[in-house]
Amino acid sequence: MALQNKKSLGQNWLTNRDILIDIADTASADGVSEVLEIGPGLGTLTSALFKFFDKVTAIEIDEKLAANLPKSFPGKNLTVINKDVLNVDLSTIDLPEKYVVAGNIPYYITSPIIQKFIQAEHRPIKIVLLMQKEVAERLAAEPGDYSILGLSTQIYAKVTLGQVVKREFFTPPPKVDSQVVVLEPRETPLASESTIALIKLGFIAPRKKLISNLTVGLRLPKSELQDYFAKLQLSENVRPADLSIAEWSALEKLVHKH
């Protein structure tokens, strides 16, 4: 009996061999022989990954899919963990010093998955994910188009966009196109936790002026914030999406200095 996808788990399976091989190739890295795969499903990407890696550790939440996966790869060095990836303690997995993460991930848990791995104590050297195209673009945004997700990701990792995968390549076809994103976790984050907290306050109302949001969020007189903005040569009309990571960091230092 064929295994059916579960809409509740965001299961949309990619079967195009060329695209799968390209994703696996993108995930490969010199001197890395092991990959942690998120949501292997039917094992189509797993199969491609075995062309570039000696060992695959796959985390699959669906009990039937997890049980079926090893049958598809007899003789291969495959470990299947039947859990929700967000509930997996990475320290309990026997991972080498250098490993990568790859997967076609459900749209609804994209952000928590990314944050889990880019902030992990034992971080992968590279994370290659296929996700909703709109989310991919937000991750790689530049000043003027920033979001909390984009800023918090870029603080912890270098973000590069890969190929776009049209919706018709999936079974069943989702409502949107997807895109490959490559994340390379940084050894040292570009900003502090205090800066990230300030960013979150600044985005309370993303379309409003930043100075208005911070006046409310920080409970500071507007005149005080006007002084900080002037020192940093920031227009009082800037919105949260306009500031670079460096500008957020500089603003945080001024705010917490007084």
For 31-80, how does the pLDDT look when each residue is reduced to its tens digit (9 = 90+)?
999 999 999 999 999 999 999 999 999 999 999 999 999 999 999 999 99
The pLDDT assigned to 9 comes to 42
Same domain for 204 and 127:
no
Tell me, rounded to whole angstroms, the distance of Cα 86 from its chain centroid.
Answer: 13
Q: Is 232 exposed, middle or buried (0-12, 13-18, 19+ CB in 10 A)?
A: middle
Same domain for 21 and 98:
yes
Q: What percent of the chain has pLDDT over 90?
A: 90
Same domain for 166 and 119:
yes
Same domain for 135 and 80:
yes
pLDDT by residue for the chain (258 residues), tens only, comes to 344 444 444 467 898 999 999 999 999 999 999 999 999 999 999 999 999 999 999 999 999 999 999 999 999 999 999 999 999 999 999 999 999 999 998 878 899 999 999 999 999 999 999 999 999 999 999 999 999 999 999 999 999 999 999 999 998 888 999 999 999 999 999 999 999 999 999 999 999 999 999 999 999 999 999 999 999 999 999 999 999 999 999 999 999 886
Last residue of a domain, one of 157, 185, 213: 185
Cα maximum dimension of the chain:
69
Same domain for 93 and 156:
yes
For residues 58 and 84, what is the distance between their CA atoms, to the nearest angstrom?
11
Same domain for 227 and 130:
no
Last residue of a domain, one of 167, 185, 203: 185
**Total count of domains within the chain:** 2
For residues 158 and 160, what is the distance between their CA atoms, to the nearest angstrom?
7
Domain, as residue range, for 86: 7-185
Indicate whether 223 belongs to any domain. Answer: yes
Indicate whether 2 belongs to any domain. Answer: no
The pLDDT assigned to 3 comes to 42
Same domain for 197 and 177:
no
Ranges assigned E (strand) in the chain: 13-14, 34-38, 55-59, 77-81, 100-104, 126-132, 157-165, 170-171, 178-185
For residues 191 and 8, what is the distance between their CA atoms, to the nearest angstrom?
36
SS3 79: strand
Indicate whether 98 belongs to any domain. Answer: yes
The amino acid occupying position 156 is Y
Indicate whether 13 belongs to any domain. Answer: yes
Same domain for 181 and 129:
yes
Last residue of a domain, one of 139, 156, 185: 185
Same domain for 152 and 220:
no
The pLDDT assigned to 11 comes to 61
Reported pTM: 0.92
Same domain for 157 and 75:
yes
> Which residues partner with 81 through β-bridges?
59
**Residue pointed to by tokens 């859990």:** 83
162: domain CATH number is 3.40.50.150
Same domain for 166 and 197:
no
Indicate whether 1 belongs to any domain. Answer: no
Instruction: Give the residue ranges of DSSP H helices in 10-147.
Output: 17-27, 44-49, 63-68, 110-118, 133-139
Nearest C-alpha neighbor of 102 from the set 171, 164, 45: 45
Q: Are 142 and 116 in contact (CB under 8 A)?
A: no
219: domain CATH number is 1.10.8.100
Indicate whether 35 belongs to any domain. Answer: yes
Same domain for 168 and 89:
yes
Instruction: Give the residue ranges of DSSP H helices in 96-220.
Output: 110-118, 133-139, 148-156, 193-202, 210-218
CB burial of 31-53 (b: ≥16 within 10 Å; e: otherwise) equals ebebbbbbbbbbbbbbbbbbebb
